[in-house]
Amino acid sequence: MDPTLAAVVRDRTGATWSRARALCTEGRVTVDGVRCFDPAVRVPPTAEVVVAVDAPRIRQGALPDEAVVYFDRDVVVIDKPAGLLSVADEEGNHDTAASHVRTMLRRLDKRGRDAKLGVVHRLDRDTSGLMVFARTASAQRVLAAAFRAHDIERVYHAIAHGIVNAARIESDLLVDRGDGLRGSHGQWRRAKGPPPVDAKRSVTFVAPVESLQGATLVECRLETGRQHQIRIHLAEAGHPLVGETVYVRDYRSPMIEAPRAMLHARRLGFIQPSTGKALVFEAAPPADFRGMHERLRAAPPA
């Protein structure tokens, strides 16, 4: 099993265990060019780990100004880093994209607009990439309706285990498939009758982009946007994401280690709520995703 990040830091620096863990949580360690705050994450031997002992402490979740891709009076689009919650998971948690973006907008928007951001969709904590918040109640209503009507363009890049072929995946997703995990009706155990009323129809279009060593770089286009939809659909098709830790109970092939699930929201398109103008944004994957892509792209050793 690969060592934890804290173990790698301790080996590199000679620090105590507590100091090694602190170096991680203080933002002084990068893995393949991306800060990793989790000292318990497993690090593959091919990863490039850099420890900057004297670097300034960085608060986890803080966003650089360039994370704001676009804003106007109605909306703000951000490139969310992996490891940051979209919105609070419990009352009082302000280490979220929504909270940090609101703080940034106080500085960036000279018009002084300071309303609470409206949530119209979310990205998982470990998913990087583009997401939009509404800045007014009317914009939130318009965007929420567009999401319900599947009028929002959402394109993800992912690295999935195995040889992935083009497919249209449709299923009825359940909060509990029968073993405590989200999943598709009839996938984990034989279906008895039609899907229950709380099942959500879910459609993902998957297209291979590049064959890699033991994996495939794929493009996923969402028709619907259910929680964990891409992760579940790919896992149930026999191709869990590289770095997936939840939807792997039924996967029996060797797993490729990664610090997080390799999923990135690459393209986002929608109609501006007030002007009717089509807005389309693209964001390249972050360094950890690119690093995994390059490692799996390299030819295997002789």
Task: Check 32, 79, 124, 288 and give the catalytic one.
Answer: 124
64-91 confidence digits (pLDDT tens): 778 999 999 999 999 999 988 898 777 7
Provide the residue count of the chain.
Answer: 302
Distance in angstroms (rounded) separating the CA atoms of residues 59 and 56: 10
pTM across the whole model: 0.80
Side chain identity at 27, as an amino acid letter? Answer: G
Write down the pLDDT at residue 299: 55
Q: Which CATH architecture does the domain made up of 5-51 adopt?
A: Roll (3.10)
CATH 3.30.2350.10 in the chain is located at 65-151+269-287, 156-262
Q: To the nearest whole percent, how much of the chain has pLDDT over 90?
A: 56
SS3 173: strand
Distance in angstroms (rounded) separating the CA atoms of residues 163 and 239: 8
In the predicted structure, residue 190 carries a pLDDT above the cut 90:
no
Helix (H) or strand (E) segment spanning residue 160: strand 153-161
249-288 confidence digits (pLDDT tens): 888 899 998 889 999 999 999 999 999 999 999 999 998 8
When comparing pLDDT for 146 and 192, which is higher? 146
Backbone φ and ψ of 225, nearest 5°:
-135, 70
Write down the pLDDT at residue 60: 58
Distance in angstroms (rounded) separating the CA atoms of residues 122 and 132: 9
When comparing pLDDT for 226 and 2, which is higher? 226
* Dihedral angle over CA of 26, 289, 9, 301, nearest 10: -170
Let me know: does 34 contact 64? Beta carbons within 8 Å: no
Measured distance between the N- and C-terminal CA atoms of the chain, rounded to whole angstroms: 23
Shortest CA distance to 170 belongs to which of 240, 221, 239?
Answer: 221
CATH 3.10.290.10 in the chain is located at 5-51
95-132 confidence digits (pLDDT tens): 889 988 988 888 777 765 667 899 999 999 999 999 99
Cα–chain-centroid distance for residue 157? Answer: 10
Q: Which CATH architecture does the domain made up of 156-262 adopt?
A: 2-Layer Sandwich (3.30)
Write down the pLDDT at residue 61: 52
According to CATH, the superfamily of the domain at 65-151+269-287 is: Pseudouridine synthase (3.30.2350.10)
Let me know: does 263 contact 126? Beta carbons within 8 Å: yes
Shortest CA distance to 122 belongs to which of 227, 41, 19, 209?
Answer: 227
Write down the pLDDT at residue 300: 62
User: Is 32 designated active site?
Assistant: no
Q: What share of the chain is helix, strand, coil (3-state, %, to 5)?
A: 20, 30, 50
Write down the pLDDT at residue 302: 44
